A and B are shown apart, each in its own frame.
Chain A
Amino acid sequence: METAHRKHPNYVLIWVYLAILTAIEIGVAFMSHLPKQIIIPALVFFAVWKALLVALYFMHLKFEPRKLLILAIIPLPLAAIFVLAAMSEHVW
């Protein structure tokens, strides 16, 4: 059948990325003196980045059929709609 060793992404490298990003996050949150308007988007950005690394490589979504990817992201717009609508409450 196929060769015994399939090509795997370099998982250890991803792990290093994740560790570094976490360190940066902690740095941004506690060591920097940036205003909150910058810190929060930056932290969210790093969190999403890390989440993507996990989903795409560790959960190998990147290598799955496209349809599975679609299935996996169906709930996300629903979640966003919910949170945004309920938040708009406080604009009254």
Chain B
Amino acid sequence: MAHATATVDMMHPPAPAERGLDVYNNKLGMWVFLASEVMFFTALIGSYIILRFGAPGPWAPPAKVLNVPVTAFNTFLLICSSVTMVKAYAAVADGETHFLRFRPFSGGLKFWMLATIIGGAMFVGVQAYEYTHLVHHGFLPSGAREGSEVAELVASGVVPAATIGLYGSTFYTMTGFHGFHVTCGVISMTYLYVTKALRGKYSRHDYRGVEVIGLYWHFVDLVWIILFTIVYLI
């Protein structure tokens, strides 16, 4: 800090009367927002836990109703898009705002961000595919559709009839809102990519947008880690 430089470094926090949280406004704002997101998912996931704990019978085995391999692949996709996101952050923090450089080979901000957007969009796509198939097989937010494959499973006792309604309710609500969050992330990231990253608005001295959207992105990833485990595995 002792070095005088002409560039304003936007990555520094504003100077409040006393130390604030030592982070700049946008990042603090995002963290505060994420705290509220935690409470939102507490309502959804908490309800799921409470309902399942007090359910009138056993829960259907996930593999019988859901398509776990497809979702496992989707989970992997989201983890990949998380690492590309953090690579984008690391790149811009080092001032590497290019797309690709070949000698020596290195990906820059523009490359990693695009990869992240593609990863996120694919996740949403796979989820849409998953939903269509589930609905097609007769698994609905209200339970099993009459005369469908899932209804047969219920009739044959493989899937407990007492809880299939709750299963549908909680499954679609939790994964649906997660998907909604991913969609919002993809849209905002595309916006930042087009209006800022491609136009060279990010630099080593100001990459707030990248860091902030990154925090959101990883948070959504983190929620998925929890959801995947409790919805698809347990």
Given A11-B86, A22-B76, A43-B234, CB of A65 within 8 Å of CB of B229: no
With A11-B83, A75-B35 in contact, is A82–B46 under 8 Å at CB? yes
Q: Which of B62-94 contact A (CB under 8 A)?
A: 63, 68, 72, 75-76, 79-80, 82-83, 85-87, 90, 93-94
Verify if A38 is at the interface (C-beta below 8 Å from B).
no
Say whether B156 faces chain A, with CB atoms less than 8 Å apart.
no
Q: Whole-angstrom distance between the alpha carbons of A13 and B3 in the complex?
A: 35
Q: Which residue of A lies closest to B230 (CB)?
A: A47
Beta-carbon nearest neighbor of B7 in chain A: A1
Q: Which partner residue on chain A sits nearest B52 by CB separation?
A: A87
Interface size on A, residues (CB 8 A): 47
Q: Is the interface of A mostly helix, strand, loop or mixed?
A: helix
Partner of B215, one of A28, A59, A74, A87: A59
Query: B171 contacts which chain A residues (CB < 8 A)?
Result: none
Within the assembled complex, what's the spacing in Å between the Cα atoms of A60 and B63?
35
Write out the residue numbers on chain A whose beta carbons fall within 8 Å of the beta carbon of B177: none
**Does B135 count as interface, using CB distance less than 8 angstroms?**
no
Our pick among B54, B218, B233 for the contact of A29 (Cβ within 8 Å) is B233
Question: Is the CB–CB distance between B31 and A46 below 8 Å?
Answer: no
Measured in the bound complex, the distance between the Cα atoms of B204 and A8 in whole Å is: 14
Pair B222/A55 contact, Cβ less than 8 Å: yes
Identify the A interface with B (CB < 8 A): 1, 4-6, 8, 11-12, 14-15, 18-19, 22, 25-26, 28-30, 39-40, 43-44, 46-47, 50-51, 54-55, 57-59, 64-65, 67-68, 71-72, 74-76, 78-79, 82-83, 86-87, 89-90
